[in-house]
């Protein structure tokens, strides 16, 4: 069986792939919301906590108003609820935790559990990042080569930028993940309520965040490749056929 966090990461990857051609169009035209699918792109970038397609060299510190606006958009992002509904459905199918049983009531508990953990994580991260002036958004490295870009992406899973643009250990992100993992034990049934269970949840979430940063780094490249392939197909000249065969003989035919 696939672990719940792995399923969530898989769903996020599928959502990202669905929007990559539109994301590339945004990069090429720099029209943002005016592009077809622009609103969906906005939801995706917010869900992935990406600073659009900006590179690290383009970093500008967030104002408190901008930070608050991003937090509110994150809490209302429909993709977060899609992921929660998907994960709750799988947990329902696997009957985890078994104390919550089946039926609408059991599904509701599982859905509320996932939304609750996510809400705590994002709220605590927002509060700490505001106090510490940390920016956890993902900025593209601007580097060349798979190895340097991958190394940058992996480190981004635990680092945040301060107002001066330098990256340090992200207290806000680590604190938010820890809060979501351990505080959610308060409403978990006995089979999932121990500190050890909280530690496992914390480790899985942090590992998922670190690994998924690689997807964020290369996602615009994939979008450009898909969009280029699509443009090549649409611009290709139509196939020409040979001389049309005579279907009806003329009066001059022998």
Please determine, for residue 2, whether its predicted confidence score (pLDDT) is greater than 50.
no
Region for 62 from its dihedrals, namely left if φ exceeds 0, alpha if ψ lies in -120 to 50, beta otherwise: beta
Residue 241 clears pLDDT 80, i.e. is over it: no
Whole-number Å distance between alpha carbons of 155 and 78: 28
Would you say residue 50 has pLDDT above 80?
yes
Beta bridge partners of 135: 161
pLDDT at 72: 96
Q: At what angle do helices 195-235 and 38-48 cross, to 10 degrees?
A: 150
Q: Where are the alpha helices (DSSP H) in the chain?
A: 4-29, 38-48, 64-75, 78-94, 103-132, 146-156, 171-183, 195-235
Indicate if the pLDDT at residue 56 is higher than 80. Answer: yes
**Is the distance from CB of 223 to CB of 21 less than 8 angstroms?**
yes
* Residue 30 confidence (pLDDT): 46
> Phi/psi at 249 (nearest 5 deg)?
-65, 145
**Which of 75, 222, 46 is closest to 138 using CA atoms?**
46
* C-alpha–C-alpha distance, residues 116 and 201, integer Å: 14
Question: What pLDDT score was predicted for residue 219?
Answer: 82
Residue 54 DSSP symbol: E
* Coil, helix or strand at residue 116: helix
Q: Give the span between the Cα atoms of 160 and 138, in whole angstroms.
A: 9
Distance CA 178, CA 186 (A): 13
Select the more confidently predicted residue: 26 or 99: 99
Predicted pLDDT at 67: 95
pLDDT at residue 236 is higher than 70? no
> CA–CA separation, 59 vs 165, rounded Å?
7
Please, are residues 128 and 176 in contact by the beta-carbon 8 Å criterion? yes
Residue 233's Cβ-count burial label (10 Å; 0-12, 13-18, 19+) is: exposed
Tokens of residue 222, six digits: 């994939």
Q: What is the pLDDT of residues 117-156, one digit of tens each?
A: 999 999 999 999 999 999 999 999 999 999 999 999 999 9
3-45 pLDDT, tens per residue? 555 555 555 555 555 555 555 555 444 444 444 456 778 888 8
pLDDT at position 33, please? 43
What are 176-229's pLDDT values in tens digits?
999 999 999 999 999 999 999 999 999 999 998 999 899 899 887 776 676 677
The mean per-residue pLDDT over the stretch 92-110 comes to: 92
Q: What is the pLDDT of residue 173?
A: 96
**Average pLDDT, stretch 228-233?**
70
- Amino acid 221: pLDDT: 79
């Amino acid at each position: 069986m696939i672990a719940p966090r792995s399923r969530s990461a898989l769903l996020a990857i599928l959502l990202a792939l669905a929007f990559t051609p539109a994301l590339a169009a945004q990069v090429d035209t720099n029209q943002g919301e005016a592009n077809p699918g622009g609103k969906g792109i906005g939801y995706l970038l917010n869900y992935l906590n990406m600073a659009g397609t900006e590179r690290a060299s383009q970093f500008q510190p967030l104002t408190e108003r901008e930070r608050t606006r991003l937090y509110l958009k994150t809490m209302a992002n429909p993709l977060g609820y899609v992921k929660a509904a998907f994960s709750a459905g799988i947990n329902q199918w696997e009957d985890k935790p078994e104390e919550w049983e089946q039926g609408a009531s059991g599904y509701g508990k599982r859905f509320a559990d996932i939304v609750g953990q996510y809400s705590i994580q994002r709220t605590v991260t927002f509060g700490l990042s505001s106090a510490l002036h940390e920016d956890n958004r993902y900025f593209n490295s601007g580097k060349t080569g798979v190895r340097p870009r991958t190394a940058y992406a992996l480190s981004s899973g635990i680092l945040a930028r301060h107002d001066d643009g330098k990256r340090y250990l992200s207290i806000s992100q680590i604190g938010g993940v820890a809060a979501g993992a351990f505080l959610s034990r308060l409403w978990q049934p006995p089979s999932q309520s121990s500190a050890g269970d909280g530690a496992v949840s914390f480790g899985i979430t942090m590992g998922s965040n670190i690994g998924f940063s690689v997807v964020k780094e290369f996602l615009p490249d994939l979008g450009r490749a898909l969009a280029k392939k699509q443009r090549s197909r649409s611009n290709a000249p139509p196939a020409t056929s040979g001389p049309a065969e005579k279907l009806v003989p003329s009066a001059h035919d022998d």
